[in-house]
Each structure stands twice: as structure tokens, then as C-alpha cells.
Amino acid sequence: MPGDEPWAASVKTVEALRRGLEVLQAIEHASAATLSDLHQQTRIPKATLLRMLKTLLAAGRIVRGEVESRYAPVTDPGASTAAAQWQAQFSAVAAPERFRLERRVPWPTDLAVRDGTTMLIIDAHRPTNGIAVNYRVLGFRPGMTMSSLGRCYLAFCPDAERHELVAQLARSTRTGDRAGVQGEAIKRLVAEGRARGYCSRHPLDVSQDSPERFGAMSVPVFQGERLIASLSCAWLPAITQEAEVASRWLGALRQAAQAIGERARVAGLPPPPRDRYAVR
């Protein structure tokens, strides 16, 4: 090829690097993959795969869900290794309570943290009973005003942080962001969310053929007095409605959020790295 060095044809490739890139590409393509998934796709021995995965984890290129044991890419290449490590640490702290919640609630649940002007799902549980709602994997970024996860964060975060977020969202080019912070919308969101103790999104907020056409509610996760995450439950409106979900499973969702926050406090989980709050 034009521009190639004259000696390039005689230089050998690094096979280990090639295979490592193949594994990273497989994870990025799948969004979240188990060790078995990667073995079946790449045919690389599991012992070798484990070494590659450990290297990618240490480099901050992937994260691992502690309960589902799925490897997912760090979705923001500009994110620091510290941010990826913090997410993995928080996911590990939350894992026991997330496992208990999965056995109590028959609907999908997500644990998400703020990432700029979006939320970032760092732990996603799907029920084993065959019921699913728009299967979301680790690394999905729900909007701040169109998701129950984001609405919950806006409702329960400190006033100064909310004012900053609203100013950023008002300049956003993403669909729904600006509309969600206009007029009295934020005041109503905060008042309603704090009165009920949770925030929801309605399936009618999106078009009839949208994959986002599902109901969801989220509760805040506090570490002491510091808001660190939102915990959600989603459902299909053809099967159940918000009132029934709130009556039957909101208590379990709240108990899990409180237990996760207490585990984070006991573990001494540090505040998230500052780059997690950068505008994205």
C-alpha cells in the first residue's frame, strides 16, 4: 500500500495482541458477554481468555458484572480508569442485594449512576421466568428526563446539582432533554417524586412502535445523605400497570435501595470520580 514502510511486508504481527483485540471486539459487539459466550465465539481457551479479560479489566477497557458475570465495554473511551473501577466496586457492593431483589421481583431491574447529563446502567438483572422488557445490557445510557432512572436522580439530588443539570439539559441537542426541563416541569417532578418516594415514566411518553414503550419506576439509593444511584423496575403495560407494581413490589425495591446504600456506607465507597459528572 502507498505509504507503507519498505520493510513492512517482512514484519510479523503480534498474535497475542491480535487475539486480545478480537476479544475486545467480541465484547463490544455483544455489549455484555460471559466467559462462555466469548469462548464459543472466539474459540480461545478459557484459561487464556481469563488472562486477557484480567488485562482488559486492569486497563479500564471493560467492566464485569459481579452477579451475572458478564463483561461489558467501558462505553466512554474518555472515561478514566478510576471511573470504571468505581463502577465495578459499586456493582460488587450492590451484588448481594441485587441478587435478593431478583428473587423477589419478577420484572427486570436496573441500577444506574449519573454520567454527565445521562444515567449509566452499571448492573442489569433480567428475570428467569421469561418476562422481559426491552433487554438492556450494561453500559446503556437512559436519558435524564425521559427515563425513570434519570427523573429519580433529578428529584432527589441536591438543589445545586439539579440547577446545574437543568442548565446543561436546557442546551442539549438530545430529543426530550430540553422539553423535560421547560417551565414548571422540574418543580412538578421534584414535588411529585419526593411526595411518593419514587419517580416513574409512562409508556405513552413514546411512540406506539418504540422499543422504549414500557412502564418503569425508580427509587433513590443514598449512601448516608449522599445520592449515589437510582434503582428501577420496568414492566410491560399489556400485562400490568403502575398501581399494581407499586402495590406489590415497590416495598422490595425500596428495601433493596436502602440495603445497597448501607452496604456502600459500611464499605467506605468513595464519591464517584469527578469525570463521571462531566457533560456528555
Domains identified in the chain and CATH numbers: 8-59 (1.10.10), 79-277 (3.30.450.40)
Instruction: Tell whether the model's pLDDT for residue 242 goes beyond 60.
Output: yes
Write the pLDDT tens digit of every residue in 87-136: 888 988 998 998 899 889 989 899 999 988 888 888 766 665 445 554 44
* Range with lowest mean pLDDT among 6-15, 48-57, 139-148: 6-15
Count the neighbouring beta carbons within 10 Å of the beta carbon of residue 5: 8
**63 in Cβ contact with 71 (< 8 Å):** yes
- With a CB cutoff of 8 Å and minimum separation 6, the contacts of 16 are none
Of 107, 115, 172, 103, which is closest to residue 142 (Cα–Cα)?
Answer: 115
Among 44-58, 197-211, 215-229, the range scoring the smallest mean pLDDT is: 197-211
- Which residue, chain included where needed, has cell 447529563? 117
Residue 198 pLDDT exceeds 50: yes
Q: What is the pTM of this model?
A: 0.71
Mean pLDDT of 254-263: 97
Q: Is the Cβ–Cβ distance between 273 and 80 less than 8 Å?
A: yes
Reference 65, options 114, 105, 102; nearest CA is 102
Question: What is the structure's pLDDT at 258?
Answer: 98
